[in-house]
Amino acid sequence: MRPQQIATALLLCAMGCGPGRHHWLGDPDLFGVALVVTEDAAPFAQAADACEHLRRTLLATSVYFGFDPADLAGLRIVLQGPPVQCSGFAGPLLGCYEWESNTVTVSTRGVHCLEASPVSHEVLHYFIGDPGHTDPRWTTFVPLWLSLQGASCN
């Protein structure tokens, strides 16, 4: 192989061969997101209209922060009852996004509806990363959260 061919092969591999986010096979009605609801999740997460609530939340979050909801394809969201153990963080949390597994895990404990859960917060982590919350978008979160609850939490 000539040096130019090696350089081209390395560039192509860097663009697609390296470790990246896992891509889950998801529901087309949820923008390609794979939804997992555990048996211990709150009743609202197990309700017949849970997917409808999640779809509205995903759409509103994506649009609010200037992203295309179609970019969520391949993400997995797990709704569970107990607090979340997130690698690299101490103590149980209400939610977590793990890049390697491309999974948002959210506790449904202590919230009365999906829109009041940390799903939107964790979806923003999916889009921008920023585990230290230094991006200024974190300071604009409250209006989204309030509008989601006002429109959908009954």
- pLDDT tens string 79-120: 999 999 888 788 789 999 999 999 999 999 999 999 999 999
| Residue with token string 């997995």 | 76
Give this prediction's pTM.
0.85
pLDDT in tens, 50-85: 999 999 999 999 999 999 999 999 999 999 999 998
What DSSP designation does 85 have?
P
Token output for 78: 């797990």
What tokens were used for 20? 């990246």
CATH architecture of the domain with range 18-152: 3-Layer(aba) Sandwich (3.40)
Q: Locate all alpha helices (DSSP H) within the chain, ordered by sequence.
A: 3-16, 43-46, 50-64, 119-128, 141-152
At residue 121, what is the residue type? H
Backbone angles phi, psi at 18, to 5 degrees: -70, 175
**Torsional sign, CA 113, 115, 118, 119:** positive
